Amino acid sequence: MQLSTKHLLGIRDLQPSDIQLILDTTSQFKEVLQRPIKKVPTLRDVTIVNLFYESSTRTRISFELAEKRLSADTINFTTSGSSVSKGETLLDTVNNILSMKVDMVVLRHSASGAPHFLAKHVPAAIVNAGDGINEHPTQALLDAFSIREHLGEIKGKKVAIIGDIMHSRVALSNIYLLKKMGAEVTVAGPPTLIPKYMKEAFDVRVEYNLKKALEWCDVANVLRIQLERQNQVLFSSLREYSLAYGVTKKILDSLDKRIMIMHPGPINRGVELDSDVADSKQSVILQQVENGVAVRMAILYLLSGGKAE
């Protein structure tokens, strides 16, 4: 089986069969990662550059580890210390790197659409590692894999995505994926952080009351308040946000069921999520991070096409 696309630019472009293939391939690589020797020769002749124009901990390390587990050669590029500070463009940077016989590009960029631009102008396969406020497809895939792993399937599950929906590429990729795979989705948060078009454009429920959203869902995916992307005041203070929308042990204990708690990281502890929830057995946050390596191995393997052994 093959993916219907040469690049991974967003979940929006994927068919449900692509998502199924990535999740099934992830299961195989997760099994590899449980072995004493976690390395396979699959991408031995493939060279991959990780281009990170924006900060990252989980995604950057996870891609690098996935590449190493697959025996690919890897190059890590961050803007600091590079010729970007001398004004070199993204396209010139990538073309120079590709001229050194690099096969694939993993790109994180603060500009929405940067990976799509590259995909039009360079011959290499492009993997979107998060572009502005557009998409973060590998995060949505690892979230979906974690839901499937814990709840058996995605179809029919009720997922509440809570918090800063407006600035979240994680929210958008999750919505595309969950709807394609037959889940029900509610977006919850303050009205100022949920775009007015959500309900009509994405066929999701909108809920402004946190307790009601939690009572409805099987899974709560709690998002970070992205202060760095907000250029206007969208809520009165972090303290007030936390009082109205912070997920606490008290509110979870008041539900008549136990829901699964997810967060893409990094967490603003005590703002959108309390520490005693983030670190509880109800939370799968570190399991999401663990699954990220296997998901990225699956994507790199599937996109490498004929180059894989």
CA distance 127 to 138: 9
Told to check if 56 binds ligand CP by CB under 6 A, we report yes
DSSP string across 69-103: HTT-EEEEEESTTSGGGGT--HHHHHHHHHTTT--
The separation between CA 34 and the C-alpha centre of its own chain, rounded to angstroms, equals 23
Out of 12, 13, 33, 58, the only residue in the binding site for ligand CP (CB under 6 A) is 58
From residue 65, give the alpha-carbon distance in Å to each of 9, 10, 46, 76, 198: 21, 22, 15, 12, 36
Contact 7, 115 (CB under 8 A): yes
φ, ψ of residue 124 to 5 degrees: the values are: -75, 160
Contact 261, 220 (CB under 8 A): yes
CB-nearer residue toward ligand CP: 56 or 230: 56
Q: Give 223's DSSP letter.
A: P
Taking the complex as a whole, the smallest distance from the CB of residue 306 to ligand CP amounts, in Å, to 30
Out of 2, 27, 57, 236, the only residue in the binding site for ligand CP (CB under 6 A) is 57
Told to check if 137 binds ligand CP by CB under 6 A, we report no
Told to check if 130 binds ligand CP by CB under 6 A, we report yes
- Specify the amino acid at residue 215: E
The separation between CA 79 and the C-alpha centre of its own chain, rounded to angstroms, equals 21
For ligand CP, how many residues bind (rule: CB under 6 A)? 10
Told to check if 174 binds ligand CP by CB under 6 A, we report no
Taking the complex as a whole, the smallest distance from the CB of residue 190 to ligand CP amounts, in Å, to 22
**Interface with ligand CP in residues 265-304 (CB under 6 A):** 265-266
Residue recorded with tokens 């998502």: 19
Using the rule CB under 6 A, give the single segment among 12-20, 147-155, 202-210, 262-270 that binds ligand CP. 262-270
CA distance 128 to 238: 30
Told to check if 59 binds ligand CP by CB under 6 A, we report yes
CA 215, 187, 231, 78 torsion-angle sign: positive
Taking the complex as a whole, the smallest distance from the CB of residue 301 to ligand CP amounts, in Å, to 21
**Interface with ligand CP in residues 70-109 (CB under 6 A):** none
- List Cβ neighbours of 117 (8 Å cut-off, separation of 6 or more): 90, 91
Taking the complex as a whole, the smallest distance from the CB of residue 89 to ligand CP amounts, in Å, to 24
CB-nearer residue toward ligand CP: 18 or 54: 54
Out of 42, 139, 168, 304, the only residue in the binding site for ligand CP (CB under 6 A) is 139
CB-nearer residue toward ligand CP: 128 or 304: 128
Told to check if 190 binds ligand CP by CB under 6 A, we report no
CB-nearer residue toward ligand CP: 242 or 291: 291
Taking the complex as a whole, the smallest distance from the CB of residue 126 to ligand CP amounts, in Å, to 17
CB-nearer residue toward ligand CP: 129 or 302: 129
Nearest residue to ligand CP, scored by beta-carbon proximity: 59
* DSSP element (H, E) containing 219: strand 219-222
Interface residues toward ligand CP, by CB under 6 A = 56-59, 130, 136, 139, 264-266
